[in-house]
Amino acid sequence: MVERGFDIRRLPGAATLAIACFVILYIPMVILVVNSLNGGQSISLWEGVSLRWYAVALQNEGFLNAAKTSLILATTAALVATVTATMAALATTRSRGFRGEGAINLILNQPLMVPEIVLAIALLIILAQIKQATGYMGLGYLVVAHSAFCIPFAYMPIRARLQGMDLTLETAAADLYASRFYTFRKVTLPLLAPAILAGFMLAFVVSLDDVVISEFLKSPGQDTLPTYLLGQLKRNLTSEIYAISSLLLLISVLIVAGSWLLTRKKT
């Protein structure tokens, strides 16, 4: 008699539970997108399909300024996080066990384990004192905070790629007296490029969608897209907000899908 391994699909009710979870997660998003296509003035009255509110959103100066701030912030933070994550992944996968390796892994993954609001409050306490001492109120504080928060999201795909890479080419380069930097530049980096790009994309979308840290640390006039939407929701819920949210949802889905395509295993 052949023993079958564990398969969650054989558990009673597993399929029903999975479908229920997907419905709970995605039905609100479907409703959001549908409402953004309502051509009427009131969100409570359907008056036909229209892209009117998308056109209105793209002419909204407040939305455009928030979008510009979010793109600058997310791009800069993702670059910093990806470079840092790449160096950390190389250190933890291409070096034999060294003192402090466990502590480094703990620090790198700390933003994933600590509630985001706790991290935001801790950063607020520190950065408020720096703001008071220096008088600087620029975007740099958000860049530093977002970079630190995004490092684990860039680190995971890069480290996974490095751990799964065949060391044959790197070993051959070393046998041919190539320096470590030359080996990295000519061998490791080209093989690692898809994972680095995927890590950058994940860090970018995490920064782009972040609201808690941005809301706590932003200075006056530094609204990002999520904080702009939060401020608008406090005033009134309109079809324009649905349209902006749908655009943000579309961007996030495309980036995450691209990241998945870059890192999936080819059969």
Tens-place pLDDT, residues 191-227: 888 889 989 988 999 998 899 999 998 888 888 988 9
User: Residue 135 to residues 74, 123, 129: CA-CA distances in angstroms?
Assistant: 24, 17, 10
159 in a domain, yes or no?
yes
Q: What is the CATH number of the domain that holds 193?
A: 1.10.3720.10
pTM: 0.81
d(Cα 66, Cα 240) in Å, to the nearest integer?
A: 15
pLDDT band at 60 (very low <50, low <70, confident <90, very high): confident
pLDDT band at 74 (very low <50, low <70, confident <90, very high): very high
Whether 43 and 242 have beta carbons less than 8 Å apart is answered as yes
Which domain does 115 fall in, by range?
61-263
pLDDT tens-digit series, residues 104-158: 777 777 888 888 888 899 888 988 888 888 888 888 899 999 998 999 999 988 8
Give the amino acid at 97: G
Q: What is the distance of C-alpha 184 from the center of its chain?
A: 26
180 in a domain, yes or no?
yes
The tally of domains found in the chain comes to 1
DSSP letters, 45-89, are S---B--HHHHHHHT-HHHHHHHHHHHHHHHHHHHHHHHHHHHHH
What residues have CB less than 8 Å from 185, skipping those under 6 apart? none
Count of C-beta atoms within a 10 Å radius of residue 93: 15
Burial grade of 160 (CB within 10 A; 0-12, 13-18, 19 or more): middle
Residue 161 tokens, joined: 């790629």
192 in a domain, yes or no?
yes
6 in a domain, yes or no?
no
DSSP 212: H
Of 235, 234, 231, 240, which is closest to residue 211 (Cα–Cα)? Answer: 231
52 in a domain, yes or no?
no
Residue 258 tokens, joined: 């691209």
Residue 16 tokens, joined: 């029903």
158 in a domain, yes or no?
yes
246 in a domain, yes or no?
yes
234 in a domain, yes or no?
yes
140-164 and 116-134 helices, crossing angle to 10°: 130
pLDDT tens-digit series, residues 32-55: 888 888 877 777 778 788 888 888
